[in-house]
Amino acid sequence: MPSPNAESTAFRSALEVIRAVEPRVADAITAELTDQRESLKLIASENYASPATLLAMGNWFSDKYAEGTVGRRFYAGCQNVDTVEALAAEHAKELFGATHAYVQPHSGIDANLVAFWAVLADRVEVPALRKAQVRQVNDLTEEDWFTLRRELGNQRMLGMSLDAGGHLTHGFRPNISGKMFDQRSYGTDPVTGLIDYDKVAEAAREFKPMILVAGYSAYPRKVNFRIMREIADSVGATFMVDMAHFAGLVAGKVFTGDFDPVPHAHIVTTTTHKSLRGPRGGMVLCGPELADQVDRGCPMVLGGPLPHVMAAKAVALAEARRPDFAGYAQRIVDNAQALAEGLLSRGATLVTGGTDNHLVLIDVSGYGLTGRQAEQALLDSGIVTNRNSVPQDRNGAWYTSGIRIGTPALTTRGLGVAEMDATAELIHTVLSQTTTGSNADGTASKAKYVLDPALADKVSRQATDLLSAFPLYPSVDLA
């Protein structure tokens, strides 16, 4: 264990060095810590990395180019990079029970791109890319390239629709994946909001995708990956799971059996932050049949690996292998369910009527608001959330009708079930007292809202008081 003052000394010293060069950056870093300490952070995709993880990113590894993989670099002098990358991969494989781990992706989007291109390279039948041959880009003839370009543009992907909780990177036009693939979506049952696996199977039989994607950013329930793999197998599709949001619940063995994607998917992608509580970054897990293609992520779609972030991933993954992480993961779900119950008891409408995981999706149309109005009103009141579409959302992806909230960050701070009910009360108070504002022409606005500043200030103070018993980074004193 570090000495009581080691972490404070480390961060104070770092800020002192930064301040000597650009004091405004040091001030912004300090202000961010203050804001995070005083706000109820309920964004489902955010968390608090440990001081060790944060400190692992601020070092000389940032100065190294390291294209290639462990033991096969295009730059000399990467022996120490090899050490931290190998450690991160080793921890990931042990943590998730995976055969192969690729820890270079800079983000979840990058991890998904690596996975997509690995599957395409494995599946597309081009003479120089057939399984019986060594597949190297330099082996491709002009005819091969012509065939490859034609074939890559005709492949199909089936993934979860955005309004049902899917992600942009699962084949939607604003993302490059929507330009790479001919994409179709599966949704959820219009009454229950749950995945209808029979409908997914029907869509797969009709569409015949090369890749079937499971995973979500705003679906508050478990997914049965065994059934999804059976659907993929029935149409000859590669089954990919994006577990970016719930990776911590998999690592903590809250999701097991049919609900653990790693034994069922051909390839799994994730971020390393969110519920996994590591640095911002991505990762790909797969079996040996895709490992070679995945390891070509750089330079296939990635820029040079970030060794300092891989070092932080190794630290965070080592932390996740400790016995206490399983308890943390379970508390995330317990808190989310308590938060859901607290909102339901106050009359809120929740998509699917509750949650099985780390997030809750509130349909704020029941309060007469759009997601954009609700998001800002809550922010004014010291509660940080994000607006999100709900199934069959009438307000579209910009204004939305939903608010997505999650419990990983507050659980890291130590808040429990009792505090979740208090949090539900604060959220309900703000939303029930916020009304729709008017545009200049007198019509109802989807963005403007009316909230008594005194009420917003009162709730903000109550939020700060609630958090006072659960200090953020108590070992870090910058005063």
pLDDT digits (tens, 9 = 90+) for 197-245: 999 999 999 999 999 999 999 999 999 999 999 999 999 999 999 999 9
Strands 267-271 and 238-242 turn out to be: parallel
Gap between the Cα atoms of 347 and 336, Å rounded: 17
Confidence of residue 162 (pLDDT cuts 50, 70, 90): confident
Residues 6 or more apart from 227 whose CB is under 8 A from it? 197, 258
Q: What is the C-alpha R_g of the chain?
A: 23
Gap between the Cα atoms of 112 and 132, Å rounded: 26
Confidence of residue 163 (pLDDT cuts 50, 70, 90): confident
What secondary structure letter does DSSP report for 237?
P
- For residue 420, what pLDDT is reported? 98
Catalytic residues: 65, 67, 242, 271, 274, 280
Enclosing H/E stretch for 318 = helix 307-320
Q: Which two tokens stand for residue 318?
A: 């080592």
What is 60-320's CATH number, 3.40.640.10, 3.30.2180.10, 3.90.1200.10, 3.40.50.720? 3.40.640.10
Q: Which two tokens stand for residue 474?
A: 């108590």
Angle between helices 6-21 and 23-38 (to 10 degrees): 140
Q: Which two tokens stand for residue 223?
A: 């997914």
Q: Mark residue 57 as left, alpha or beta (left: phi above 0; alpha: psi -120 to 50; beta: remaining).
A: alpha
Look up residue 116 and give its amino acid: F
Beta bridge partners of 271: 282
- For residue 53, what pLDDT is reported? 97
**Domain assignments of the chain as residue spans, ordered by start:** 60-320, 327-468
Look up residue 291 and give its amino acid: A
Q: Which two tokens stand for residue 148?
A: 């490859």
Helices (H), 6-107: 6-21, 23-38, 51-56, 79-96
What percentage of the chain's residues is helix, strand, coil (to nearest 5)? 50, 15, 35
Is residue 385 a contact partner of residue 459, using CB atoms and an 8 Å limit?
A: no
Enclosing H/E stretch for 289 = helix 288-294
Gap between the Cα atoms of 115 and 290, Å rounded: 9
Q: Which two tokens stand for residue 274?
A: 């969110």
Question: Domain 327-468 belongs to what topology?
Answer: Aspartate Aminotransferase, domain 1 (3.90.1150)
Q: How many helices (H) and strands (E) does the chain have?
A: 19, 16
Whether residue 133 is predicted with pLDDT greater than 50 in this model: the reply is no
Whether residue 165 is predicted with pLDDT greater than 90 in this model: the reply is no
- For residue 152, what pLDDT is reported? 64
What pTM was estimated for this model as a whole?
0.91
The b/e string for 261-289 (b: 16+ C-beta within 10 A; e otherwise) is bbebbbbbbbbbbbbbbbbbbbbbbbeee
Confidence of residue 131 (pLDDT cuts 50, 70, 90): very low
Is residue 219 a contact partner of residue 208, using CB atoms and an 8 Å limit?
A: no
Per-residue pLDDT, averaged over 41-57, amounts to 96
Gap between the Cα atoms of 223 and 277, Å rounded: 22
Whether residue 409 is predicted with pLDDT greater than 50 in this model: the reply is yes
Gap between the Cα atoms of 407 and 95, Å rounded: 22
Whether residue 413 is predicted with pLDDT greater than 90 in this model: the reply is yes
Is residue 103 a contact partner of residue 88, using CB atoms and an 8 Å limit?
A: yes
Whether residue 167 is predicted with pLDDT greater than 90 in this model: the reply is no
For 453-465, write each residue's pLDDT tens digit.
999 999 999 999 9
For 393-402, write each residue's pLDDT tens digit.
999 989 999 9
